[in-house]
């Protein structure tokens, strides 16, 4: 074996060891948060199976994860598959049930109780088409296209109508007797440090776009780094729209900063972070004003109890962190002013970073 091949083998061995340690760490966290420490650690293995992402073998007490899947897919999907396999382990070892089929009643019951994807698909599948949901998504898309109008009044009116349509739709859905279907979506890749503007944007999505937002732990297998990634929980149509708003606001705030920096010759990174936070604050104020108008017209959103239950199943131990207030500055004030003037529209044709589907469908011709 030559030196280059030997070095390659060492790197592969180090990566495998790092991945197994991270899988073990994730298993321990899930054992506490979801299974109340009822499970005994299994032997964790990376395997080259082609047909499955993960497998629990009760005879050998091994929990196997597909090597390529773990190395190449977003960590959130890896965690979902591990939850699924740990549910199998729980049925066998904590409930002492070994005479049912692997995906039998006991397994389905545990997945339902703990908010685990019983299909083990990593990310929940879109599911069957819903004509009403598709109609709302298309109508919102059409209104956001109108919001690109060069006429400021027409643009603002179209954007306001889109927000009001979403509010009416969600109020109507909340009043239906049948339960809605919910899923989740993680945006971007895990980051070591989450900036203030990103925290404010997450709060905006939770306050105004009918989703629950939370920062969760993540891992980047390609470089072995841990961090946090934003996760949204909600109905499929609300996830689509919220993920679009996320991409739109990140791109728009950066564009506004570049324009501001060109005018003021303030390229310093500290000023940039402050300006971006100001943009999000200004946009938040604009949305709050729209929400007040809707309340005055009798459109009051009291929340979605079923969504909150789904969210708490996925995240049974949630800690709230209060951000410390930041000093005011000229850059922050300019950013806030720019944020108040943002009109949400279809100006960005981006997909949510790290996602597998576009945030909104293209406008019909």
Domains of the chain, first to last: 3-114 (3.30.2010.10), 131-340 (no CATH)
Residue 2 has a pLDDT of: 64
Sorted by sequence, the CB contacts under 8 Å of residue 262 that are 6+ apart come out as none
Rounded CA-CA distance 245/250 in Å is: 8
CA torsion sign for 88, 91, 97, 103 is negative
pLDDT of residue 352: 41
Q: pLDDT value at position 354? A: 41
Strands (E), 37-140: 43-47, 54-57, 62-66
139 vs 165: CA distance, rounded Å:
8
Nearest to 82 by CA among 92, 94, 70: 70
Q: Which pLDDT score, from 0 to 100, does residue 86 have?
A: 97
Do residues 219 and 190 touch, judged by C-beta distance below 8 A?
A: yes
Q: What is the pLDDT of residue 324?
A: 56
Residue ranges in the chain whose pLDDT is less than 50: 349-358, 361-365
Distance of alpha carbon 89 from the chain centroid: 27
The kind and range of the H/E element at 212 are strand 212-220
Find where tokens 């969600």 sit: 170
Contact 53, 70 (CB under 8 A): no
């Amino acid at each position: 074996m030559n030196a280059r091949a030997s070095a390659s083998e060492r790197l592969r061995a180090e990566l495998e060891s790092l991945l197994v340690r991270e899988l073990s760490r994730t298993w321990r966290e899930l054992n506490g948060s979801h299974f109340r420490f009822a499970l005994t650690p299994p032997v964790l293995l990376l395997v080259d199976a082609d047909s499955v992402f993960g497998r629990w073998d009760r005879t050998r007490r091994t929990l196997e994860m597909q090597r390529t899947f773990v190395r190449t897919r977003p960590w959130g999907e890896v965690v979902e598959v591990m939850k699924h396999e740990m549910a199998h382990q729980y049925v066998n070892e904590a409930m002492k049930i070994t005479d049912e089929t692997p995906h039998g009643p006991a397994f389905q019951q545990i997945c339902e109780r703990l908010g685990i994807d019983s299909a083990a698909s990593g990310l929940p599948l879109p599911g069957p088409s819903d004509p009403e949901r598709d109609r709302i998504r298309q109508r919102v898309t059409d209104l956001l296209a109108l919001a690109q109008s060069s006429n400021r009044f027409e643009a603002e009116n179209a954007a306001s109508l889109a927000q009001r349509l979403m509010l009416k739709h969600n109020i109507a859905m909340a009043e239906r007797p049948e339960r809605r279907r919910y899923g989740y979506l993680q945006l971007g890749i895990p980051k070591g440090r989450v900036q203030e503007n990103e925290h404010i944007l997450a709060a905006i999505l939770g306050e105004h776009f009918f989703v629950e937002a939370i920062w969760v732990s993540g891992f980047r297998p390609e470089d072995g780094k841990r961090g946090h990634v934003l996760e949204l929980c909600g109905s499929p149509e609300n996830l689509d729209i919220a993920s679009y708003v996320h991409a739109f606001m990140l791109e728009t705030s950066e564009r506004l900063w570049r324009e501001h920096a060109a005018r003021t010759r303030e390229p310093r990174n500290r000023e940039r972070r402050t300006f971006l936070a100001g943009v999000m604050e200004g946009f938040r104020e604009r949305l709050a004003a729209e929400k007040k108008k809707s309340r005055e017209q009798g459109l009051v959103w009291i929340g979605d109890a079923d969504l909150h239950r789904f969210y708490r199943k996925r995240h049974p131990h949630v800690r709230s962190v209060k951000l410390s207030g930041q000093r005011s500055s000229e850059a922050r004030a300019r950013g806030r002013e720019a944020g108040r003037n943002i009109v949400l529209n279809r100006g960005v044709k981006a997909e949510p970073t790290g996602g597998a589907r576009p945030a909104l469908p293209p406008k019909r011709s």
